[in-house]
Structure 1
Amino acid sequence: MSELYLARQPIYDSELGVFAYELLYRASEENSAPAGAGDQATYSVLVNALTEIGLDELVGPHYAFINLTRGFLVGDNPMPFSGSNVVLEVLEDIPADEAVLAGVRRLAEEGHMIALDDFVYDESLRPLVELCDIVKLDIMALDEAQLREHVETLSQYDLKLLAEKVETQEEFELCKALGFDYYQGYFFCKPNLLKRTRVTGSQLALAQLLAKLSDPDVGMDELDAIVSHDVALSYKLLRYVNSAFFALPAKVACLRQALTYLGIDLVKQWSLVLAMSSIEDKPHELLTTALVRARLCELIADECGYEGKERYFMVGLFSVLDALLDLPLEEVIASLPLAEEVTTALLQQEGQAGETLQQVIAFERGQWDQVDGSAFSPEQLQGFYLEAIRWVRAVGMPLK
């Protein structure tokens, strides 16, 4: 695999289902590609995603948004994939001259979906807008009045609107009310603190269950009693243990058998995952994010030889608890009997586990300058990230 950082960011529909993933990448060790290298970086990521990794590994059944540079649009680089599940993004700093328009028209005629990135409307851009399928508006760069004006202006075209850099639930609700079709940003990983004034019964029950399952002193008998007392959790766990993912030699009929086959640490781990999956008013991608982080933290801990890699898994998993419960993370953590290392990692991102989580989130978000200080090569980190995605896809169906 080439020296390439490649991650993904989800793009949602109005029901918070995943519509697509934008591929975030950088093809060199430098914080910014040297002059003239952008086109080669673009072509490298396209070829790499298709031939070395596979788009299906990265985005599954969803669309993949990929940035294109001017050189790619006006050049004769062959497109290494069909257009069925790819959206090609024209970057905002590319002048819409005749050569670019011809390139975009050629790609559109070949059946590729076209998106305009960080778009600000100007009448001179009309020919380009008429060729595209999706327009992305950076809501951090436009105030509410400008957003409304853009939505009204673009409504005359046969295209979809995507709001990007949506960071809060309030911004999501505003964009939804304005008529946007798709949404991109990290709002789904943050708690909606204005949604309610008190903890709901289901959230309280989940917090209490997580507290019991997180207790490092819980023994086999007590864990059996905790899970068995929760009928839904017990059913989910037994169904999951009997799935193809574990491939056990015989059907498991009770939790005690599961404990015998898998051990207490693995049963606790999956009980936590399944308990978190029970919240119904949150996007499934939130749990996907938690699992990718958990597995990535675990893989890095294992490679580094850190003790207690199950704690690293828990740190990654619990990093979304605030968004899951719509409570400040400090409040959630205070209610859980966690080891000091785990608490410090989650609240301050300090210590070995905290630094690992910090690196994982930076990679997830394409913050490559923060990843550069890693002891791992891009190839190693990319391998861990892809392994985490594959692992989550393998475990995913029973969690839905």
Structure 2
Amino acid sequence: MQDIFIGRQPIFDRDLRVYAYELLFRNSDTNAAGFTDGDQATSRVISNSFIEIGLDKIVGRHRAFLNLTRGFLINDWPLPFPKDKVVLEILEDIEPDEEVIRAVGSLRAQGFSLALDDFIYHASLKPLIEHAEIIKIDIKPLSEQALIEHVRELRNYPVRLLAEKIETQDEFRFCRELGFEYFQGYFLSRPKVISAREIPPNGLATVQLLGRLQDPQASAEELERLISQDVGLSYKLLRYINSAFFSLPKAVESIRQAVVYLGNRAIKTWATLLVFSGIEDKPHELMTTAMLRAKMCELLAEASGEARSDAFFTVGLFSALEPLLEAPLPKVLDSLPLSDEIRNALLAFEGPYGEALRCTLAYETAEWERVHFNDLSGSQITEIYMQAAQWADEATQMLAN
């Protein structure tokens, strides 16, 4: 597991309401950049913001300012950003040569909003100004008179001005009186470091496969194709179905036969169990626990007349995803196409699914006062637990062979 970090500093409007956040590279919870490779830092900010943590969780309904290096500009790499949610900052150390100006024009033509960072006016920057929507003026190296002249010159262009590196009340007041639209700096707010836990590569592949298996729209043909693409999964599934656990009168020789014989719902369940069992370097007992929870939730549903016992099974099984993948459960669930009912059950024990899971976990930890589900008696729940434990032990042994 690896901790990931990103810095976030708010940008305010004239009424001191948050307009946007600038996203900054951080490699620890220390509030400092600490990098030597600008392209790599930009890549990490993009990856952490859009893939690992999620842009909506970092900036909410606000826009995100992202720094772009020369490499990102001129290499014409596709930028998979929502154009209405990001502002691309052109760093001050980028030489505005023909290649850069052409790249900036292309981004503007694609509909991206552009900002010039740490701006100090020079005639050579006019081609960039013409493509900019926002210009961020670094007020620290400028005298009051020089700042006034910057504003006067830039008012000849249809741009909005952002005063950055504001560190005092007087600086904020002066820039506001000059007509700046936006403000950023330590006086208003220091950057905040946001951290999360990264799903390891093997865990990410597992989540992606689980997500496809859990797709409620998946047809029998799609399930057959999905399982057949994974040779190991196909082999294990066929071996398992042909084991004494099922006692079939005739051998199942293909994934298509397995899907037809078991049906979509059952084939999803067993394929999912096999994916779980294939997670590397996890204790045998953890897999048994996951399967016991799944079966107990399913049996609680069946005994009390609840519909969709397969969904109860999924809730019990997925309650063990966090220790299995060593990643926060909300982050894992974001990658899975689960219904709100299942998601809320896993995160907040809501609804019948959540009540079954709460009962199962309470039995697991001997919190007897919380062991209840619908109108089932204590003896019924105990019997269900014993059945689930036996099934989980047998199924785990078969999956491991």
Compare CA radii of gyration and give the structure with the larger one: 2
* TM-score computed with the length of structure 2 as normaliser: 0.50
